Structure 1
Amino acid sequence: MTKSHRILRWLLAVCAIALLAGCATGPTIRTDYDPEADFSRYRTWAFYQPIAMEETGYTTFLTDRIKANVRREMDARGYRYDEKSPDLRVNFQGIVREKTDVWSVPRTDFQYFYSYRRRAYFAVPFWYDETQVSQYREGTLTVDLVDSARNRLVWTGDAIGRVTRKPPEERAQDVDRAISEIYLRFPYRAGSNEPVVPAKKQ
């Protein structure tokens, strides 16, 4: 992959996070996990190298904000940061897609006919479905937890939503909420294989 292609991928990923941060409504959270993973083995963590959002070597205020949020959430669950030999590595990425919604709206209209017998026009109603099309952007922010020894994904969470543009301060606050909501679905604490809340695929 050429440097220009890597930069283009990075710019698209940053745009995805920026747009997701401007979601008009709260994002949908989806999670999945490896049912064979033994979460009692995991006590330490570090960031994956390279972070998917930083493959070109660039950082932004949003990627730094995400890192700070991930540190807070991992610390709150008892995981200790260990850059040299972590049990888990945390990766994150963002993408944006053009989406199209198509739906039908019931409509009523009238046709007018002339009655020679009554010497007047009269209306006859008829009903039909009108097709509506809406194009929009959908952003996805993904957080992955990877077993460091096996380089195997053991848990993943997505925040997905329609996106709008907002000032940088509001986007940063929305990123905070998105990371918090993703981690609300992560059920484990350091060194424990017993979920705090039932883990389920969504």
Structure 2
Amino acid sequence: MPRLILPLLLLLLAGCASDPATVSVSPNADGHQSTFFIQALDAPGQREDLEDRFDLGVRRALEAKGYRYQESSGELRVIYLFGLDNQSGIVQRPVSTSAGVITQTQITDSAEARLALRILDEASGEVLLQAQGARQLHDPSLTQQVFDDAIARLLKDFPAHAGH
């Protein structure tokens, strides 16, 4: 399995540059697996507090679909990269003054969130779901509810556990 981690990491990193988020679900994703575990991979800008929120969001979304979480192994492996890049930019805006219109220059700070997520069938190694994307964040202090909602949307087409 360690031989597979590097190619998966490279594929996930390649997907991080896309915008907006794209999600694809394999036609072979049929919900017959019942357990899952989560594995975060290191990404630039990864923050432990956001990783914990992301893990919890994934857990809640899959448990709502009838899957059972296990800490270190399962029939489904959820791997992801989630990172934030702080970016500075320059914005020029016209401003009306008594002397006429002048251009005001401002320096802006924002963060770009990058995500690559895969759900793999642990037995076959097949990718059952792949999601990737990047988005500008104006408020990088993301709440658990924001993570829960976003992950639920990402996994909305992933099938529920067949026994659910």
2:154 counterpart letter in structure 1: I
SS at match of 1:150: coil
Pairs within 5 Å for 1:105-116:
none
Aligned residues: 122
> Do the aligned partners of residues 97 and 152 (structure 1) sit closer, same or farther apart at CA in structure 2, a change above 3 Å counting?
farther
Q: 2:152 aligned with 1:180, yes or no?
A: yes
1:177 deviates by: 3.2
User: Does residue 1:163 correspond to 2:137, yes or no?
Assistant: yes
1:93 aligned to which of 81, 84, 105: 81
1:141 counterpart SS class: strand
SS in 2 for 1:189: coil
Give the equivalent residue in structure 1 for 2:118.
144
Q: Give the TM-score, by structure 1 length.
A: 0.48
Deviations 1:140-171 (A, max 9, x none): 3222101111223211123532233x262xx2
Deviations 1:57-111 (A, max 9, x none): x96110000111111111100001234651101111125689xxxxxxxxxxxxx
Aligned 8 A contact 1:29 1:181 in 2:
no
Structure 2 gap segments, 5+ residues each: 1-12, 87-109
* CA 141–65 in structure 1, closer or farther in 2 if over 3 Å, else same: same
Q: Which residue is equivalent to 1:78?
A: 66
Distance in 1 separating the partners of 2:72 and 2:148: 27
Question: TM-score, normalised to structure 2's length?
Answer: 0.58
Q: Structure 1 unaligned runs (5+)?
A: 1-12, 17-26, 99-135, 193-202
Matched residue, 1:53:
42
Check whether the contact 2:60–2:148 (CA below 8 A) recurs between aligned residues: no
Are the equivalent residues in 1 in contact too, given 2:25–2:158 (CA < 8 A)? no
Bigger Cα Rg:
1
